[in-house]
Amino acid sequence: MKIAFIASECDPFVKTGGLADVVGALPKALKELGHEVIIILPLYDSIRKKNLHIDPFFGSMGVWMGAGVEHWCAVKKTVTHDNIAVYFIEYDHYFARTGLYNDSSNNDYADNAARFAFFSRASLQLLMDMNFKPDVIHAHDWQTAPVCAYVKTWGWGGSGIDKAATVLTIHNIGYQGVYPADVYKYAGFSEWDFRSDIFEDHGRVNFLKAGIHYSDMVTTVSPTYARETLDGSQSYGLAPYLNNKKERYVGILNGVDYSAWDPANDKLIPAKFTPEKMDGKRVCRNELKKKFGLDSSKDVPVLGVVSRFADQKGLDVFAGAVERILNSMLVHVAILGAGDANLEKYFSWLPSIMPGKAGSYIGYNNDIAHLIEAGSDFFIMPSRYEPCGLNQIYSLRYGTLPIVRNTGGLADTVIQYNEKTGAGTGFKFDYLSVDSIYDSVGWAVSTYFDRPEHLKKMRKTAMTQDFSWTRSAKEYEMIYLDILKKA
């Protein structure tokens, strides 16, 4: 099959979250299954600054929008180490900015709807102009959900684009691309489509809802999250439209790239280790404690955090529990993250009132993220909702037992500890509260000190779990083939 991925992020070019990891890894796994895959991205200013080897492809390309508006952009191209072609839509008016979606004050750009309507339309124009006839077009989240609508509602002049099957993957339904309706005419969709079951959302446009309507298949990133969005508990109002898709809405668990996240070959950690030879983990923990100014004079476990500081992640509740935890338990905390200004302020202040017990790094640093995964004994993710989550899967491979809320992909990837047998791979709790976090961390810490044989057994079980992309890619392959048969 010929497959075109159209997305707003892709690791290693540009990343704000798990979307980039998926778009970076899934095409590679599909290529290994024998398919031809290309990726189309915006050319953000941050990509330019990386000084990657990117060549001109089209010097100019005309893109018609609605209301007779035509933009001229350029296209550039590179090829990944895995020999996958990546094309960049270059249009500085929309993409030469400091942030992807937000300004320096973390506010949405006012023209986000126009930016990504243009990118969606331009990506399809590129497919047509380069004569790439895709069997499947795979769009991601609200930013490229309009692709599915353009494919089904615009004429494509015998290019074959209108015959492509469309797949829309929802990575986080909390972000739907809801913007004022004045962008609708510019986007170029018909007045007939501006209704409550397609684009219209309380007088505004909702790009994700329209993508759901027009896509041939909708997927999300874990089976449990699919169920949660169907029953309305995590759907943010879109449950009726997802239920309308019936068998054309499924949850496929994300994979992880073990070439980057595996302590047996991780070049970013001070010592490698395996389930059979764990000495290197202690070396990593000592280096982690040194890096974060934690007391290394006693055998005290470390609780790690690597996260965006966002409401979804539940770290505001963790903030309400962490001082109590550190005051009453033999445990240290190492925190890496950024986002919410109040949480940034609190976690940057925490080490000053808990010297030797807490350390923090405000921002994101990949080397430090790897060190926390490798050197921590436990990793906490108290998410309000979690479509899939990747860090808990990384943690499993590093023998860093996750402490997670029982939701979404966390529920699908972490096996609850059985205190009688020592079975399991982590510690799960159902209700997000200060007390539940405190109790769950206490359960993990008591296991560390009181049941070390269980800890050893759990670590080995965790490290031998397989969440590679090969499994997930085969599920996507089956979906592609199925919708092509029904098209």
pLDDT digits (tens, 9 = 90+) for 289-326: 999 999 999 899 999 999 999 999 999 999 999 999 99
Mean pLDDT confidence for 188-204: 96
User: Sorting pLDDT into bands at 50, 70 and 90, what band is 480?
Assistant: very high
Domains 2-255+469-486 and 279-463 share a fold: yes
Of 8, 33, 6, the residue nearest 476 (C-alpha): 33
CATH superfamily, domain at 279-463: Glycogen Phosphorylase B; (3.40.50.2000)
Mean pLDDT confidence for 120-147: 98
How would you classify residue 125: left for phi > 0, otherwise alpha for psi between -120 and 50, otherwise beta? alpha
| % of the chain beyond a pLDDT of 90 | 92
**Dist. CA 450–CA 448, nearest whole Å:** 6
Query: What letter represents residue 328's amino acid?
Result: S
Query: What letter represents residue 348's amino acid?
Result: S
> Which class would CATH give 2-255+469-486?
alpha beta
Question: With contact defined as beta carbons under 8 Å apart, do 458 and 401 qualify?
Answer: yes
For the cut 90, the answer to whether the pLDDT of residue 262 exceeds it is: yes
Q: What is the mean pLDDT of the chain?
A: 96
User: Sorting pLDDT into bands at 50, 70 and 90, what band is 157?
Assistant: confident
**Dist. CA 91–CA 179, nearest whole Å:** 21
**Dist. CA 194–CA 372, nearest whole Å:** 48
Give the number of other CB atoms < 10 A from CB of residue 67: 10
**Dist. CA 300–CA 286, nearest whole Å:** 11
Q: How far is CA 116 from CA 8, 76, 137, 270, 421, in A?
A: 8, 18, 16, 42, 52
What residue segments make up the domains of the chain, in order of their start?
A: 2-255+469-486, 279-463
For the cut 90, the answer to whether the pLDDT of residue 29 exceeds it is: yes
Query: What pLDDT shows up at residue 16?
Result: 85
Residue 451 makes CB contacts below 8 A (sequence gap 6+) with: 419, 422
For the cut 80, the answer to whether the pLDDT of residue 486 exceeds it is: no
**Dist. CA 274–CA 307, nearest whole Å:** 25
Query: What pLDDT shows up at residue 234?
Result: 87
For the cut 90, the answer to whether the pLDDT of residue 485 exceeds it is: no
Of 191, 252, 148, 182, the residue nearest 476 (C-alpha): 252
What is 321-345 written as a DSSP string? HHHHHHHHSS-EEEEEEEE-HHHHH
**Dist. CA 384–CA 372, nearest whole Å:** 22
Structure tokens at 37: 């895959």
User: Sorting pLDDT into bands at 50, 70 and 90, what band is 18?
Assistant: confident
Mean pLDDT confidence for 76-104: 95
Strand-pairing partners, residue 166, are 137
User: Sorting pLDDT into bands at 50, 70 and 90, what band is 107?
Assistant: confident
User: Sorting pLDDT into bands at 50, 70 and 90, what band is 212?
Assistant: very high
**Dist. CA 145–CA 177, nearest whole Å:** 9
Whole-prediction pTM value? 0.92
Mean pLDDT confidence for 171-188: 96
Tokens 């900015």 — which residue?
97
User: Sorting pLDDT into bands at 50, 70 and 90, what band is 84?
Assistant: very high
pLDDT tens digits, one per residue of 371-399: 999 999 999 999 999 999 999 999 999 99
Query: What pLDDT shows up at residue 487?
Result: 65
For the cut 80, the answer to whether the pLDDT of residue 23 exceeds it is: yes
User: Sorting pLDDT into bands at 50, 70 and 90, what band is 479?
Assistant: very high
**Dist. CA 119–CA 133, nearest whole Å:** 19
